Structure 1
Amino acid sequence: MIDTLSLKIAVGIKAKVPEHPASVNVLKFAIAALINGLTIILFSLIGSLVTDTFIEAITVLVSFAILRQLSGGYHLKSGVACIVVSTVGVLALSLTGDLGAEFVFILNVINVILAIVFSPSDIEKQSRIKKKYFPFLKLSSTMLVAINFAIGSPVLASTFLVQCLTLIKLPIRERKGVVK
């Protein structure tokens, strides 16, 4: 669905501006990413208005996105699956209540450990950042999640945990129907 719409838009752009240096495939990819991101934000904010967690949803969206850019992580193969999982995740995380200072501290420790051990993960598939900068990404990811020791936010601790868990590469071999 998203691929079809992205392709139609990309073909339309290329027809209007044939001298544009980007190929139809590059345009399609960029448009699909834009549609995905905007749809997740729109659905999440609408849902957060219904659940009265607007500020928490914005916190989840921004903190997840920043950590994601620094640390990488697993990507779903389908745009629609990404929209559904991400929107449900944002809404669930925005409903994080008071977890207690001790539990938030434990989550922060887990997040720092996961960031140190696994970040950046699969970043080469989503950016053009050179490998020589990966130690900086690891340090930045770790520092970002460590900031929550001072803030003590249950929403941030939970959000960072979900993103840090996407960094872990599971030892699943590629075979029909299973992704690596």
Structure 2
Amino acid sequence: MTELIDALSLYMAKHIKSVVPDHPASVPVLKHALAVILNLVFIISLTIIISIFTGNVIEVVTVMAAFAFLRQLTGGIHLKSGMGCVAVSTLLFTGLSFIKLDYNWTIGVTLVSMLLIFVFAPAGIERQTRIPPRYFPLLRSGALIIVSFNLWIANPFIAISFFVQSLSLINIRR
């Protein structure tokens, strides 16, 4: 059975191609781009809807923004299934919004995140970016600088989000 995101993105790609047959992108290229967009829309929508019911909207938005921002610089593991990604990400972001760290834990988790980034970042971005590998050390440096700002801000939700994103960099098979 084709999963929901694949089916929707294929339907939309075929529709776009039928309306604009001269569009330079092929159906598979359009399908992939639309699948990425749908995945993101589903994650954000579901997570925010749940957070409205849990009363953690600000926390969830903080967690999602911090996670996404750091992930752009560091990469990390990817799930094979779009719907799996939606489910895991929604549960993860919702769950992280309930974790309350005191100041010392916030600083400690931020320092561990920095160590993980220093050792493992960037991870798994070789096939997903047009950035040449010679610039990967700059991505690592940028990520370290961004994470280090939380030593000053000391936001527990940013700290836990950065920590989980940093954990996603670890690849035991390397």
TM-score of the pair, normalised by structure 1:
0.92
Identity %: 43
Decide which of 19, 23, 28 is 1:20's aligned counterpart: 23
Alpha-carbon distance in structure 1 between the residues aligned to 2:68 and 2:36? 13
Q: How many residues align?
A: 171
Match of 2:47 in 1: 44
Supply the distance in 1 between the matched residues of 2:127 and 2:59 (Cα, whole angstroms). 29
Q: Residue 175 of structure 1 corresponds to which residue in structure 2?
A: none
Kindly provide the amino acid, as one letter, of the partner of residue 83 in structure 2: V
After the TM superposition, which residues 95-114 of structure 1 pair with which residues of structure 2 at under 5 Å, given as runs?
95-97=98-100, 99-114=101-116
Q: For residue 86 of structure 2, what is the aligned residue in structure 1?
A: 83
- Matched residue, 1:177: none
Q: CA deviation at 1:125?
A: 2.3
Deviation at 1:5, TM superposition (A): 1.2
How far residue 115 of structure 1 moved from its aligned partner, in angstroms, is: 0.7
| SS, match of residue 126 in structure 2 | helix
Return the alpha-carbon distance in structure 1 between the equivalents of residues 94 and 128 of structure 2. 25
Secondary structure in 2 matching 1:81: helix
Per-residue deviation at 1:169?
0.9
CA RMSD of aligned residues (A): 1.1
Cross-structure match for 2:96: 93
Aligned residue in 2 for 1:178: none
Unaligned runs of 5+ in 2: none
Runs of 4+ deviating beyond 2 Å: none
Work out the CA distance in 2 between the residues paired with 1:22 and 1:169: 34
Deviation at 1:104, TM superposition (A): 1.3
The whole-number CA distance in structure 1 between the counterparts of 2:155 and 2:26 is 44
Of residues 31, 39, 49, the one that matches 2:34 is 31
CA distance in 2, matches of 1:96, 1:46: 19
Q: Residue 126 of structure 2: which of 124, 139, 142 is its match?
A: 124
- Residue in 2 that maps onto 1:68: 71
Distance in 2 separating the partners of 1:21 and 1:124: 25
SS at match of 1:76: coil
Paired with 2:17 and 2:126, the residues of 1 have a C-alpha distance of: 28
Cα shift readout 1:88-140 (whole Å, capped 9, x = no counterpart)? 0110111122x221111111110000111111111122221111211110001
Q: Which residue is 1:10 aligned to?
A: 13
